[in-house]
């Protein structure tokens, strides 16, 4: 079984490997306005008073991205992020998410996430096809072994009868 999966891994590249050279739209810090706001959610007074949440606005497109700690709400032009207790980490997360949001706005159905989805479906189809092929090979091999076993038993019976 190990041999089969190593062959499978060599034969098919993962969708992420196929999209390795994908070019995301550039998100420059000069094009974005950062606003630091108080956090909210579980964590008590410390979270509620510390300014560790980030609201990132991409000025050319008007897209607003807010970094919340425990959830990521999706609406057309408003996204929230506040995942970490650290402000620098939330800023990093906000810029990373802004990259995906802008990619979806600019490229639509050809964005990275959609291509990854399609390639995942193709990859799973290829894996199923490979598994079916392996299954038919195993069935043929089992039939050959069974036929050889029967012939051997018949030969032994012939020898005993003589």
Task: Tell me: do 88 and 46 sit in the same domain.
Answer: yes
Whole-angstrom distance, CA of residue 102 vs CA of residue 85:
25
Which own/partner pairs from 110-115 qualify as long-range (CB within 8 Å, at least 24 positions apart)?
112/19, 112/22, 112/24, 115/19, 115/22
The tens digit of pLDDT for each residue in 95-123 reads 888 888 888 888 777 787 777 776 666 66
Task: Tell me: do 103 and 136 sit in the same domain.
Answer: no
Whole-angstrom distance, CA of residue 86 vs CA of residue 39:
11
Task: Tell me: do 103 and 120 sit in the same domain.
Answer: no
Taking 90 as the threshold, does the pLDDT of residue 87 lie above it? Answer: no
Task: Tell me: do 95 and 118 sit in the same domain.
Answer: no
Instruction: Evaluate whether residue 55 is within a structural domain.
Output: yes
Instruction: Evaluate whether residue 22 is within a structural domain.
Output: no
The tens digit of pLDDT for each residue in 18-75 reads 666 777 878 888 888 888 877 666 666 666 677 777 888 888 888 887 765 544 443 4
Domain of 81, in residue numbers:
28-107
Task: Determine how β-strand 63-67 pairs with β-strand 53-58.
Answer: antiparallel
More confident of the two residues 145 and 127 = 145
Q: Which of 54, 58, 56, 1 is nearest to 25 (CA)?
A: 58
Instruction: Evaluate whether residue 20 is within a structural domain.
Output: no
Backbone dihedral angles phi then psi of residue 52, each to the nearest 5 degrees: -120, 5
Task: Tell me: do 81 and 118 sit in the same domain.
Answer: no
Task: Tell me: do 46 and 100 sit in the same domain.
Answer: yes
Task: Tell me: do 8 and 54 sit in the same domain.
Answer: no
- Reported pTM: 0.55
What is the DSSP secondary structure assignment for residue 42, as one 8-state letter?
Answer: S
Per the structure, how many domains does the chain have?
Answer: 2
């Amino acid at each position: 079984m190990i041999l089969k999966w190593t062959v499978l891994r060599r034969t098919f590249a993962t969708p992420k490997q196929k999209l390795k050279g994908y070019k995301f739209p550039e998100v420059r810090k000069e094009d974005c306005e950062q606003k630091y706001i108080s956090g909210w959610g579980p964590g008590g007074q410390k979270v509620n008073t510390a300014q560790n949440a980030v609201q990132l606005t991409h000025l050319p497109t008007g897209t607003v991205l807010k970094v919340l700690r425990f959830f990521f709400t999706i609406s057309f032009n408003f996204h929230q992020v506040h995942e970490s207790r650290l402000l620098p980490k939330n800023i990093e997360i906000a810029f990373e998410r802004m990259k995906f949001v802008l990619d979806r706005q600019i490229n639509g159905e050809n964005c990275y996430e959609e291509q990854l989805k399609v390639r995942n479906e193709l990859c799973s189809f290829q894996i199923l096809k490979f598994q079916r092929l392996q299954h038919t090979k195993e069935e043929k091999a089992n039939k050959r072994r069974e036929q050889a076993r029967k012939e051997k038993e018949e030969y032994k019976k012939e020898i005993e009868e003589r």
